[in-house]
Chains A and B, each alone.
Chain A
Amino acid sequence: MKKIEAIIQPHKLEDVKEALKGIGIDGMTVTEVRGHGRQKGHKEVYRGMEYQVDLLPKIKIEIVVAAARADEVIQTLVAAARTGKIGDGKIFVFDVAEAIRIRNDERGETAL
């Protein structure tokens, strides 16, 4: 099993959800986060004053899928979240040791 964690632009969330639904992925955790990568925030000018915006609002999506499906999910994510501009975000992939459904103690991929 793989955990796919994607940091994307807020306005891309609906597109990404739709695209993932299209390939049969319904379960995900979505969090509103703030941060910056290479984009490093940017300068805003307001009323003659410049100030630095350090932490930009982003959306974090977490999905756990069977290892065999990971590539397909990643490709779908990339296609749906891309605008081609700086700040589009990143995807991280982790190995998952175990998944447990709390309700009935099911284990492994069936618990996903």
Chain B
Amino acid sequence: MSFAVVLDPDLSARPPDQVRRTLAARSTEVTGSVRRAWVKSLQSRFPSGVALAATGGFGRSELFPYSDVDLLFVVESENQIPPMKDALSAFLQDLWDKGLRPSHAVHTVAYCVVEHDDNRELTISLLDRRMLAGDPAMFKWLDERFRAFVLKRGAAIGARLAHLADSRRATFQDTIYHLEPNVKDTPGGLRDLQTVRWLDVLMGGESAQNLARAFDFLGSLRIRMHETAGRDQNRLSFDVQESLSGRPAELMRDYYRHARQVNRAAERALEAALAKEDTLLGRFHEWRSRLSTSEFTVLRDRVYLRSPGAANRGLELFEFAARHQLRLAPDTVDRLNGVEIDARWEHWKRLLELPHASLGLHAMQESGALASAIPEWRHIECLVVRDFYHHYTVDEHTLVAIASLESIEDRRIGDLWAEIDRPDLVRFALLLHDIGKGSGVDHVAESVRVARAVLTRLEAPEADRATIEFLIARHLDLSAVMTSRDLSDEATAKMLADRVGAVERLKQLTIMTYADISAVNPQAMTPWRLEQLWRVYLLAHAELTRGLYAERIHAWAGVDPHRAVFLEGLPVRYLRTHLDSEIDGHVELARQLESRPVAIEIAHQRGAYHLTLLTRDRPGLFAAVAGAISSFGLSIVKAEAFSNAQGIVVDTFAFSDPHRTLELNPSEVDRLRGIVRRVVEGKQDASKLLRGRPKPLLPSRAARLKPRVVLNNDASDSATLIEIVAEDRAGLLYDLARAISDAGCNIEVVLIDTEAHKALDVFYVTSKGGKLDDGLQDRLKSSLIDACASS
């Protein structure tokens, strides 16, 4: 069998209409075969009362070489069906023998002009009906009734079609950027194109008119794929790409260009079809339109621009879309075409701090704004990297990775992500982590180089630049350890800790690895990989934090003298848990101590307040400060205390403001600073401040946590480790620290953390310069348990 299809190997230089003519010729040929088979097996037995119609692609004379041949027998009544059975099988067998793949149905006219929930495709396939053989009166009857049906129910059929298309598109993760797309079913493929045409017919429209070139491209691809494979092959696999073109990457860029056009038209048409449904959801969308501002109008979850100038002001439009979880209206995308986006680092920071930042990035990609803001983005647009694992083009992989952080199912990873101080840095690092792909050289080094250029242009602060470059440079390290290192070997943990350096960076890198793997393909983040990643995280975390309390920094060379004096005698862990920029801030505060006894800084960042305090250490100091903070009704979520060789302590407290005391009364920040100072100087008693604070609401008794106190003399060479897990409450930290001070012990290192209502407190304490003896341990343990319970 041959189809006499000769196509120019260069897909872009075909005479127009050749695809259409090829498909029509194939349809004519098959029509002939079907008619002959009808004459042979059915005509004499059913001279009237039965019509044979072509439907679907065959119906509209667009039959691809190996596509199914859709046939519909239209009968007067159900009773006709059983006696037809034998003749029908002879007829179908005849077609099979001719190498066709008939797909047939037998229905009455009445059945055809009703919507069926279990047979939605029938109505759609009948939109392209064509008389083939049999009783013309029967076909005429169907034709007239179906026309009337569509006239009356067009909008409803359109909405159903849109729902069908939506669920098909969802099985391809709603993206066109698959490395091995299905030219028929993937978003942006022929099925989407046909959907646009159908919706034009059903709802009245002309959207499909601009898609003629896309149809020629996709159609000619599919014809050649069928011919090459000798079957209904629609998946544009790597092998097929190679067999179709000497330059498969170029072929795919052409493909994505056309698919993007089809995809946009399909999105618009689907949206219009669904908008006609008057549902509760529709009313919710209406309500959302109140989000509109003086610059943007929100209609049905889409953002429209009020003035053309509103588009290029930083990233406001995209920030707005991400903040309210909206998409751009098609009209907005059109208006952004060619608009130059001038985004600075502070704009990026604001966008990337948002929990749903990926929606803003998606809107930027869709409208071309991403490539305008970061021209280097063009290197990876529609870029195909051919391997067995990746399903998406590099740009899409990048955006999927960032989006994956918005739906983390694993609780451990979710908590880790929530703990990260600067999510914007992780997101920006992800945005550029593969920007060097396709350059022909090592992509990691190239990505770092490009990122450096981008960040310099954006004038990002040095510390932010360093973090982003670090994350990109190391973005493959954890996955490499997961698969190729012995996790029970101590050397692995040491190597990891040395490479990562600080706990915050380990967390950032773990999250980055999670996102990168998750975006390889929808199944890539298996429970197995997740478990391995978590093990690697724990391993490095333990190594970065273990034993580093006892180990002290000594004679730190190669730093400026102020810094060296300040660092002398601090635990090594201090270096591992603080970024350079934070250490700089502490050194600066330490300088202030030359002229005053206490240096205090209070900053508000990302929904939490941070108080940093430097002063000369004295017994009970930590407890007093914790008490002062609690007395304002503030809730301490994190705290650390370290001291250096000069006896200067660095205490940091992060706290939330549940009653919005500081937020609503800015002068209270100064009062808090004053009270902390007085408490530190011994001029005010913290326990008096705490008296009279209202008791906090505790969770129900069933949900309460039994306090757990563990003392351990083996964890450190010089101090006793106390680990406490207890129900968190206002003033808990003060009570615990007081109990330790009252027992005559000195707090060397403190690490406080909270998870919901659970407080995780770690103290390293000494008594008379050494570890606690058994008797003291017992007494302290029971007073700590009492302190946990008293509220």
Contact = CB atoms under 8 A, between A and B. Distances in A.
A89 to B, nearest CB: 13
A10 B483 contact: yes
Contact of A47 (B483, B487, B529, B753): B753
B760 A47 contact: yes
Contact of A57 (B485, B528, B723, B725): B528
Contacts of B753: 47
A33 B542 CA distance: 25
A14 B486 CA distance: 12
A9 B761 CA distance: 35
B541 interface: yes
Interface stretch (B319-327, B355-363, B531-539): B531-539
B270 interface: no
Contacts of A49: 725, 760
Interface in A44-66: 44-49, 53, 55-57
B526 interface: yes
Contacts of A10: 482-483, 532
B488 interface: yes
Contacts of B541: 46
Contacts of B724: 48
A11 interface: yes
B487 A11 contact: yes
A56 B486 CA distance: 13
Contacts of B723: 48
Of the four ranges (under 10, 10 to 19, 20 to 34, 35 or more), the interface on chain B belongs to 20 to 34
Contacts of B488: 85, 87
A56 to B, nearest CB: 8
Contact of B528 (A13, A34, A48, A83): A34
B503 to A, nearest CB: 11
A34 B487 contact: no
Given A10-B532, A48-B723, A48-B724, A32 B486 contact: no
A10 B487 CA distance: 9
B528 A46 contact: no
Contacts of A33: 528
Of the four ranges (under 10, 10 to 19, 20 to 34, 35 or more), the interface on chain A belongs to 20 to 34
B762 interface: yes
A13 B483 CA distance: 8
A11 B539 CA distance: 15
Nearest to B755: A47
B9 interface: no
A44 B531 contact: no
Interface in A1-60: 9-11, 13-14, 32-34, 44-49, 53, 55-57
B736 to A, nearest CB: 13
A44 B545 CA distance: 14
A11 B542 contact: no
A47 B585 CA distance: 26
Contacts of A53: 535
A9 B531 contact: no
Nearest to B761: A48
Contacts of A83: 486
A11 B538 CA distance: 17
A91 to B, nearest CB: 19
Contacts of B535: 53, 57
A57 B531 contact: yes
B2 interface: no
B542 A48 contact: no
Nearest to A10: B483
Nearest to B715: A45
B527 interface: yes
A46 B419 CA distance: 14
Contacts of A55: 531
Contacts of B761: 48
Interface in B699-742: 723-725
Contacts of A14: 484
A75 B535 CA distance: 30
Contacts of B484: 11, 14
Given A11-B483, A32-B526, A46 B531 contact: no
A32 B538 contact: no
A9 B484 CA distance: 10
Contacts of B532: 10, 57
B760 A48 contact: yes
A83 B724 CA distance: 37
B566 to A, nearest CB: 28
Contacts of B487: 11
Contacts of B486: 9, 11, 83
A11 B491 CA distance: 14
A97 to B, nearest CB: 31
Interface string A64-93: 000000000000000000010101000000
Contact of B542 (A32, A45, A56, A85): A45
B714 to A, nearest CB: 13
B713 to A, nearest CB: 16
Contacts of B725: 48-49
B531 A34 contact: yes
B477 to A, nearest CB: 14
Nearest to B486: A11
Interface in B274-301: none
9 residue pairs, one from A and one from B, having the closest CB atoms: A32-B528, A48-B723, A48-B760, A57-B532, A57-B531, A47-B760, A57-B528, A11-B486, A44-B538
Interface of B: 482-488, 526-529, 531-532, 535, 538, 541-542, 723-725, 753, 760-762
20 contacts: A9-B486, A10-B482, A11-B484, A11-B486, A11-B487, A32-B528, A33-B528, A34-B531, A44-B542, A45-B542, A46-B541, A47-B753, A48-B723, A48-B760, A48-B761, A49-B760, A57-B532, A57-B535, A83-B486, A85-B488
Given A11-B483, A57-B532, 7 more contacts: A9-B486, A11-B487, A44-B538, A46-B541, A47-B760, A48-B723, A48-B725
